[in-house]
């Protein structure tokens, strides 16, 4: 398929030079680069609610709420059970 892509002049010059040195076409470099980028992306998250596993003593410590970042940080800074 043909398409038009706008590239930075320096990037294009570097890519053309690399392609020539490697005996490849600019198109093959772009194809490879896009394939690599798309292969590395994180898989999409599943739709709906996600249940995360809990460990330790069966969940949150008494008094800890995940609705308050400040309270959670306070508990972690103290390094002990909330009182």
Q: What are 27-61's pLDDT values in tens digits?
A: 999 999 999 999 888 888 778 887 777 666 666 77
The number of angstroms, rounded, from the C-alpha of 82 to the middle of its chain's C-alpha atoms is 34
- The pLDDT, as a whole number, for residue 13 is 97
The pLDDT value recorded for residue 54 is 64
| Domain layout of the chain by residue ranges | 9-40
- How far is the C-alpha of 15 from the C-alpha of 26, rounded, in Å? 7
The structure's pTM equals 0.49
**Count of helices and strands (H, E) across the chain:** 3, 0
Which string of DSSP letters, residue by residue, matches 3-38? ------HHHHHHHHHHHHHHT--HHHHHHHHHHHHH
User: pLDDT exceeding 90 applies to what percent of the chain?
Assistant: 39
Average pLDDT over residues 20-31: 96
Nearest to 18 by CA among 32, 5, 4, 6: 32
């Amino acid at each position: 398929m043909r398409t038009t892509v706008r590239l930075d002049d320096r990037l294009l010059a570097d890519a053309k030079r690399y392609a020539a040195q490697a005996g490849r076409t600019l198109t093959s470099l772009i194809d490879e680069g896009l394939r690599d980028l798309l292969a590395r992306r994180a898989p999409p998250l599943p739709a709906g609610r996600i249940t995360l596993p809990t460990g330790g003593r069966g969940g949150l410590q008494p008094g800890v709420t995940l609705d308050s970042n400040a309270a959670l940080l306070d508990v972690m800074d103290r390094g002990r059970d909330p009182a």
